[in-house]
Structure 1
Amino acid sequence: MTSTPMNLNCFDLATRLKRGPAEHKGDAGKAILIGGAPGMAGALVLAGNACLHLGAGWTILEMFDPSSAHADANQPELMIRLASTQAHDALIKQDPDVIAIGPGLGSSPIAIEWIKAVLSFPKVPLIIDADALNCIADSEDLLNLLQHRNQQFPEMTVITPHPGEAARLLHSSSAKIQEDRQEAIHALVNQTQSIVVLKGQHTLIASPQHAVTQCMEGNPGMGTGGMGDILTGAITAIAAQGVCHQLNLWEATGIAVQLHATAADSLVEKGVGPIGLTPSETIMEMRSLLNKLL
């Protein structure tokens, strides 16, 4: 019989993010987010906006879509670049504190090269979402690279599948994932050796070193395109700040998951949604709630 998971309760940890009077952008971390293939640039911009508004010192977008790889007049703080074809060299040159890959990534040859590069990049926290998970599911070589990274650097990689992506990784179906979500997250942890966030009602988090924890917040208004992208951005931002603020990737992930769901609930309580609740609105509510916790 499956035991009931513990409820997620990470907001006390968020107080570590409080900034000292002399802190600068270097103390808040350099985050690189990778994706945004043609027709999907919005996914990467949403993730970048979440990362920016939740406090990363630098938010750099490696954008695959040439027509979108330019300064955004609505959000000029984002550093948007056309993704290099030399992914490994680009990562070494930029020396990030945290990396996220997946929103709007696609499955092109350049996408595969960037996945290989980030899986081979040592030590820094890595967040893997969306199309990056689908590419790993379809490639034994990429899965082996992910497993090897986690053997070298335990608890430094988090994957954030929704039920469909989880099913693809486990060669199952979304219906079977939803039938026994605890069994599914255990299988994902065993398969990837990663911190795993299995999104959905009562999002679950687990890792090789941590038992399953569930987030009790959240509502059906979160079932809209882009909500997963902003969770990726939120984890990235908090992990970036965690480098100097003594938060590890497990802790940063828990804070971000709970903040994401609580912000959506807060908006519904204010009459914004659940129908028509947008990721962009949720980003701003997340920022407000995070600052209230400090």
Structure 2
Amino acid sequence: MSADLPRDPAPSSPGPPPPGLYDGAALRALEAAASARLGGDAFELMRRAGEAAWRELLRHWPQARRIVVVCGPGNNGGDGYVLATHAHAAGCEVRAVRLAAHAPGTELARRACADYLAAGGRVLEFDGALPGADAVVDALFGIGLSRAPDAACGALIEAIAASGAPVLALDAPSGVDTDSGDVPGSAVRADVTVQFLAAHAGLRTGAALDHVGLLALASLGLPADLLNRFEAVAACLDASMLAARFAPRPRNSHKGGSGHVLCIGGDEGKGGAVLLAAEAALRSGAGLVSVATRPAHVAPLLARCPEAMVQAVESESALAPLVQRAGVLAVGPGLGQEAWGRALHQAALASGRPLVLDADALNLLASHAQSPPADAVLTPHPGEAARLLGISTREIQANRFAAARLLCACFGCAVVLKGAGTVVAAPGQRPRVIAAGNPGMAVGGMGDVLTGCIAALRAQGFPAFEAAATGALLHAAAGDAAAAGGERGLLPSDLIAQLRRLVNP
């Protein structure tokens, strides 16, 4: 681009820091610090937790009169007893239910249980079924369990599901690992989960999302300065944060100031994938988009998207002039893993241009043990991540944060680990979790749209990590907007029209 052409301004600041997500170690340390701030009165913190949970139950089910509180032996059970005491005082028919082996096992839980009994409350031993209830409270384990529940606990969890009543989980649905989001065995499916003190990282990604329901947060009067003393393991991005990431363009803009994306892919029979990437790049604000693909796809691509500059490419030498003119390469949609795809993949890696690598570009990366440049962005789904790391998909999904960190360590660049609760990570950066998207997006071609989004932002001047995080958020928010008419049958092309609206707040 000529030096006298106007350029777009730098990307808008992402705004204030996104809210932090914390692991169990930080939460336990935070709890101890909060108790110390209260003069060492740990029971006061439990009292606040139980009261906050009771208010949450009233907010969602104000007509509930029959309350069953399933209590475990630890402090989560203690929170449940405090809630039960409030419900009893309000005139509700309350039953605390526990396993025979789950008598209160901590000093705080024993005190809470004693207060409940002294107020006239009743405790029942679980006999295989729960009493009839308008609402069930899960106070079994909270953040205290990181393994599959045993058979007895599993039976109690199944009874909660069989009750048919709405479920409020305290701190976490029992059986969900709050660090990783894994669900290794039986787990409660809550309608609402109230987290105490700070947001829990594992409840935002992976299998946990099928168990948490609506997430609420009760800070228990914790001062902000106290929370700031503890390191969050990740941060959460939602659609409300998208607008702050896009600055208005100056009136004196030029197409060259918005960057040039070259989409490389579309082997025989796979032209749709690279078309989706190109359209997404255009609708995400790229000033110029070129496509390098097989000759058979040129005419269909131009008919569908005349704004794209489509070139038939059969060799590395034919690709070279296109690479020279481009600012960012989006490589992988429909690329294939045959000789043609391998040759173009090698040329892209050697180009020195910023790269967004998806689909077969990732599979080729895995099979040839190559290293991408440090400013690349990898966008694997769990299966591709498993191939890149040489482990199983189950291992990826068991701890998506750890998998994203390992991908960054192995490849030295930004990574978007796709899936429910997408995790975006990069060396030296706090991971981002995308709190947007929906199950309708689990369809072929969605990743091609994401590739185009990220490449377009990269071309417009976003650094690799911010392009990855903002692109993933943009893509998920577009998916939610497009799913307004229903999730089943949602198509990747349905997102394209939404992108333009979302990048123009």
TM range (shorter): 0.7 to 0.9
Q: Which deviates more from structure 2 when the two are superposed, residues 113-122 or residues 22-31?
A: 113-122
Which residues of 2 match residues 1-294 of structure 1 at below 5 A?
A: 2=179, 4=201, 5-8=234-237, 11-16=242-247, 18-63=248-293, 65-70=294-299, 72-87=302-317, 90-91=320-321, 94-122=324-352, 124-140=353-369, 143-144=370-371, 146=372, 149-150=373-374, 156-242=375-461, 247-268=462-483, 270=484, 272-291=485-504, 293=505
Question: Compared with structure 1, are the counterparts of its residues 182 and 110 closer, same or farther at alpha carbon in structure 2 (3 Å cutoff)?
Answer: same
Q: 2:122 maps to what in 1?
A: none
CA distance in 2, matches of 1:74, 1:44: 12
Whole-Å Cα distance in 1 between the matches of residues 350 and 318 of structure 2? 8
CA RMSD of aligned residues (A): 1.8
SS in 2 for 1:80: strand
DSSP-derived class of the 1:73 partner: helix
Which 10-residue stretch deviates more, 28-37 or 6-15? 6-15
Letter in 2 for 1:128: L
Deviation at 1:110, TM superposition (A): 2.4
Q: How many angstroms apart in 1 are the aligned matches of 2:473 and 2:421?
A: 10
Partner in structure 2 of residue 153 of structure 1: none
Q: CA deviation at 1:257?
A: 0.7
- The range that moved more, 18-27 or 2-11, is 2-11
Question: 1:54-91 deviations in whole A, cap 9, x for unaligned?
Answer: 2211110100x321123522321111111241258615
8 Å CA contact retained: 2:278, 2:289: yes
Alpha-carbon distance in 2 for matches of 1:231, 1:14: 17
Could you tell me how far 1:12 is from its partner in structure 2? 4.9
- Say whether the 8 Å CA contact 2:416–2:425 is kept in structure 1: yes
Residue-by-residue CA offset, 1:108-142 (whole Å, 9 max, x unaligned): 222222222221222x32100000100110012xx
Question: Does structure 2 retain, via aligned residues, the 8 Å contact 1:87–1:113?
Answer: no
Quote how far apart the aligned CAs of 1:288 are. 1.2
Q: Which secondary structure state, in structure 2, belongs to the residue aligned with residue 262 of structure 1?
A: helix
- Please identify, of 113-122 and 228-237, the stretch whose mean Cα deviation from structure 2 is larger: 113-122
For 1:80 and 1:88, the matched residues in 2 are separated by 13
Amino acid at match of 1:220: P
Aligned mates of 2:482, 2:271 — CA distance in 1: 26
Pairwise CA distance, 1:95: 2.5
Offset, 1:226: 0.7
Contact (CA 8 Å) 1:267, 1:282: kept in 2 or not? yes
Further displaced range: 98-107 or 76-85: 76-85
Residue in structure 1 matched with residue 61 of structure 2 by the alignment: none
CA distance in 2, matches of 1:255, 1:89: 29
More helix by share: 1
CA distance in 1, matches of 2:400, 2:259: 34
Change (3 A) 1:267 1:119: same
Q: Distance in 2 between matches of 1:232 and 1:125?
A: 13
What does residue 213 of structure 2 align with? none
Contact 1:88/1:117 (CA < 8 Å) preserved in 2? no
Q: TM-score, normalised by structure 2?
A: 0.52
The 8 Å contact of residues 319 and 344 in structure 2, kept in 1 or not, is answered as no
User: 1:197 Cα shift?
Assistant: 0.2
| AA of the residue aligned to 2:251 | P
The structure, 1 or 2, with the larger RCO (C-alpha pairs under 8 Å, 6+ apart) is 1
* Alignment TM-score, normalising by the size of structure 1: 0.87
Identity %: 38
Q: C-alpha distance in 2, partners of 1:194/1:88?
A: 28
Q: Distance in 2 between matches of 1:86 and 1:224?
A: 31
- Give the Å deviation of 1:96: 1.2
Aligned-residue offset at 1:103: 0.3
Q: SS where residue 303 of structure 2 aligns?
A: coil
Greater CA radius of gyration, 1 or 2?
2
Q: Deviations over 1:126-179 (max 9, x none)?
A: 100000100110012xx14x2xx32xxxxx110000001001111112122111
Displacement of 1:267 after TM fit?
A: 2.6
Contact 1:88 1:114 in 2 (8 A): no
Name structure 1 gaps, 5 residues minimum: 151-155
